[in-house]
Amino acid sequence: MSSSTVPKTNVTIAFLGPYKWIPGLTYNGTLVTNDIFTAVNMSNFVSSFFRPTAQGVFYWQDIGAALTVQNINNDPTILPNIHINIKRFNDWGPTPGKSPGYAMVHTVPEMIADPEIIAIFGDFDRKTTVYSAQIMSLAQLPLCGVETFSFPMLNRNKYPYLFQMMSVSGFAENLYQLLKTWNVQRVALIFSFGNKDWAAQALHTAEYLSQHGIQILVKLNSDLAYKPGGNDYIGQMLKIVDARYMIAVTDVFSMAQLYYGLASTNSSVGNDYVWIGGNPPIVNGDGAELFGSDKFYTWSRGFVFVAGSNPTSEYTARLGDTFTKQIVNITKPLGGSPTIQDLWNVNVPMMYDCINLYAHGFKNLLNSNPTFTPQMLATRQLQQYMNATLYAKTGYRGLGGDPYLLSIYGDMAAPGMYFSLPGDSVFPDPIPFAVSDSEWSSFNYFPNYTLAFFDGTNRPPPDGPIYTEQILLPSNGGGRALIALGGVGIVFSLFSLFITLACQKTSTIRNGSVLFLSLISIGSAFPYASMFFHIYRAASISCNARIWLPLIGYSIIFGSIFVKNMRMHIIFTPEYSFPPTFLKDWSLVTVLCFLVGLEAVFVGLFAGNSPMHGIYTLGPDLTFTYACSFAPREASYPSILLWAYNALLLIGTLATGILTWNVKPQFNESTYIYLITICTGVMSLLLLGIGQSNDATTLSSLVQAIMIWTITTFCMVLLFGPKILVLVFDAKDGSLTTTFMSSLRSSLGSKRGSNADQSKTMVSAAAGAAGGRKRIASMLESSHAPGQSSVNQQTSMLGNSSNTTSDKIAKPIAQNVKYGVCYTRIGKDGLEIPWVSAVLGMYPLRGKTVLVFLSQEEPSFAINLPKNVMIINVKELNDVPEFSHTQFRVGVKCVSTKLDIKIDFKKSDQAEDCVVKLKELLSHQK
């Protein structure tokens, strides 16, 4: 037997709504007993397509659903063995506004008691649906909410059998994407306090926007629009908070009552304002007659609403044309010829999709199990399988979606669609101008989109008073200054590092420690690099860099100064006794790493307790800026620890300057240390004060950066400036170098009192004895005799010149010391360093003994000789054949007082002469 000859099984869908609104119907209890097509005069409702009323919308929704049932019954491909019947039930009581109670007492029990009803279509009033849908879920009767649009009804635990034909979820997410694109951060929220559905959605929207940085200026009750003076109150409150963007969460009629009411008083509707809703404002009646056509159309322009909506496919367009022609066929004789957009004005396409979802869901249910039959469906034996998930993915291609899908919350799954009202037609038909994605995480304008705000332009107005952002950029003076300072500073750091490494064999650099001068150069690059993070808007990364880079850099600089000067103090203080390894470079680097590590720990604790990020801060004269915030989460002890540690590091460095006050001039940095630590301390206090002030402007950020640059540069100039000057003079003239270096070290090297005077006298005499480079060459040439060794020639030259140029240097104690290498080992710390190469002579000078020698390496500063022994180093003679260096230099080495020497000799068979002469010297001094 073919399907066409098989008797069809009748299944019944109940239509639920306020049928008391439609005149001409008769009832048996709540059941409508006559046919709406024949009993009601359709011509009374044709105008509702163009000027919708609540009664007209409800009427056409019923007609659209009934026509859809007819189409399904006539389509053999959907439910070939089933015929769908309709029963209509009224839930509007005799007293207006009491429909929820009436429906619960009368309508709902009658539908549940009717065994033929397997599904429900309705309801028109969500105030009723919020109760009826919950009871229907308990009775396992699916309910298609055609007009619910209820946020609370997304709850799947309370409403598992309810599905909504509008997209309810995603409103807050889609709204945020729009506000973010338009750079809106201040909004007013207006919603119905008395409607639980709108209130729940509005409060969720407010929470979501607040979590994403949108400020809710005020929350107002849209219900006041229906009360005398209500719109005036709302307008005054919007004016007080200076709201420019209004978010309205209410029904279309309340939206119109509020919006056009404010527009009529020129309050918060105009060029400077934007209204955004979940639906457009629809006047209950003719807006042109109520407000005047010119005003009504003008006021409508620029209203924006966000709704979940699927894009129209070619299939959807053809389907819409077919269904529209069906409506036109029955309305054209009555003077109506609606378009698909007119049908959407009264939500007829949603009714079409609702009935089709039921039909395709029934079809899929019967096909899912061969034992399921239409008779079982018609007699409620399959109700346990008919919750909202049955209709989520039916494969149905409809007017609202191709395919039409339901979300996990039971509402229509759709991306956010953004519409605006152009205000240039009889009914201001909304025009879509942008769309989000299915995850509500993007905003994309349509190509060649049309968007006009109230002023007719497509530029969104500002969300408040127009503030100008103060920001340091590479394009303005402050930003360019920081880029220049940072670049110059880093170049200076690299230059200092280059000088240190290139001249590491010179006494000037070696006396300052090649290793630690290199580390200081590297450390200085950190605060210089922080200059660049004061440019652009303050954010988490830049704020962290502003504190990490300078503090880590300063810990490297001051840690290096501290450890190398402590070593100097220990070496020149005989009373101290430390293991030899303690004074090695690697030991000191270990101490430095510990100091820098402590700095990193304290900075990390500070950053963890006080998250660093940029905050929006209003300034004077309508300006704003983003300033770094260091608000502590808990106690402030990490901040105290950080600043206390840096203060101790600064004090410790200052202490090393005091302890090395009387160290030899060439190793003495005490004067520089005093200046560096005092200046750094004072400027750090100023920096701390500026950082904690409420004056969060680009000027304060610029001042902070310049102060950091100044501190760093001051340290680098004092540490490297004298050394670079010495090297520069050294490259020009040996005699000038000798004089400059001696006077500089004597004046700034802190060799105080009579020792300093004696050093100056000795240096002057040695310089006079040495003479200029040409003079030395001529003397060497004239004194050269066959058979005489080069060392003897040098000794004779120095001896003769000393007799002729200065009466302060007597004849040498010893001359003609043969070439050799002397090594000295200090007994208590085990240091073993070459002392001299080729001692040239020993001279008495004002009660002291001067050793003159030629050396390829500096004599060790750790040599302990008697207090009245001094050493002159004559180095790099240009014209001596055995030596290729180009300069002549006299250096002064002052030694400590304790006699604790052990002499070893290595690398020379003739070193014994050096030892003998040294012993003679010591014996002579005694």
As a three-state string, the secondary structure of 761-796 is HHHHHHHHHHCCHHHHHHHHHHHCCCCCCHHHHHHH
889-893 and 869-875: which strand pairing? Answer: antiparallel
Share of the chain above pLDDT 90, in %: 37
Residue-wise pLDDT tens digits, 296-322:
888 888 899 998 888 889 999 999 999
Of 480-484, 672-676, 815-819, the range with the lowest mean pLDDT is 815-819
Q: Is residue 740 pLDDT above 50, yes or no? A: no
Question: What is the SS3 assignment for 851?
Answer: strand
pLDDT band at 646 (very low <50, low <70, confident <90, very high): confident
Helix, strand, coil in percent for the chain, rounding step 5: 50, 15, 35
| pTM of this structure | 0.50
780 close to 794: Cβ distance less than 8 angstroms: yes
Q: Return the residue matching tokens 């990193």.
A: 600
Model confidence at 544, pLDDT cuts 50, 70, 90, reads confident
* Average pLDDT over the chain, rounded to an integer: 76
Q: Is the pLDDT of residue 819 over 50?
A: no
| Model pLDDT for residues 475-516, shown as the tens digit of each residue | 888 889 999 999 999 999 999 999 999 888 887 788 788 888
Percent of the chain with pLDDT over 70: 71
**Cα 263–chain centre separation:** 41
Highest mean pLDDT of the ranges 597-606, 652-661, 789-798: 597-606
Please check whether residue 118 is in contact with residue 139, taking contact to mean a CB–CB distance below 8 angstroms.
no
Q: Which residues contact 360 (CB under 8 A, 6 or more apart)?
A: 78, 391, 394, 395, 396
> For residue 273, what pLDDT is reported?
93
Pairing between β-strand 468-469 and β-strand 623-629 as defined by DSSP bridges: parallel
SS3 state of residue 750: coil
C-alpha torsion 461→463→466→468, nearest 10: -110
Residue 445 has pLDDT above 70, yes or no: yes
pLDDT of amino acid 107: 92
Q: What ranges in 784-910 are assigned the alpha helix state H?
A: 790-805
pLDDT of 226-245, one tens digit each? 999 999 999 999 999 999 99
As given in the structure block, the two tokens for residue 713 are 């540069």
In what order do the strands lie in the sheet containing 162-164? 27-28, 31-32, 82-90, 9-17, 117-122, 143-145, 162-164
CA 513 to CA 915: how far, in whole Å?
29
Q: Please give the single-letter amino acid code of residue 67.
A: L
- Given a contact cutoff of 8 angstroms between Cβ atoms, the answer to whether 214 and 185 are in contact is yes
Top-confidence range, 519-523, 617-621, 684-688, 921-925: 519-523
- Judged by average pLDDT, the poorest of 88-97, 379-388, 748-757, 866-875 is 748-757
Q: Which of left, alpha, beta for 802 (phi over 0: left; psi -120 to 50: alpha)?
A: alpha
Instruction: Quick: pLDDT tens for 130-146.
Output: 888 999 999 999 999 88
- The pLDDT assigned to 569 comes to 78
SS3 13: strand
Q: pLDDT higher for 819 or 78?
A: 78
Q: Evaluate if residue 759 carries a pLDDT over 50.
A: no
Q: Give the torsion through C-alpha atoms of 384, 386, 392, 394, to 10 deg.
A: 120
Q: Could you tell me the pLDDT band of residue 643, with boundaries at 50, 70 and 90?
A: confident
pLDDT band at 294; cut points 50, 70, 90:
confident
842 burial class (0-12, 13-18, 19+ CB within 10 angstroms)? buried
Distances (CA, A) of 488 to 230, 524, 709: 65, 12, 10
Unique residue bearing structure tokens 């039409």: 404
What tens digit of pLDDT does each residue of 192-226 get? Answer: 998 888 899 999 999 999 999 999 999 999 999 99
Greater pLDDT, 309 or 899? 309
Dist. CA 193–CA 215, nearest whole Å: 20
How would residue 761 be classed by pLDDT, with cut points 50, 70 and 90?
A: very low
pLDDT confidence of residue 907? 35
How far is the C-alpha of 419 from the C-alpha of 129, rounded, in Å?
28
Pairing of strands 444-445, 468-469: unpaired
The per-residue pLDDT for 76 is 92
- At 567-620, the pLDDT tens digits run 877 777 766 666 666 677 888 889 999 999 999 998 888 887 766 666 666 665
DSSP annotation string for 435-461: E--TTS---EEPTT-----TTSSSSPP
Taking residues 154-173, report their average pLDDT. Answer: 93
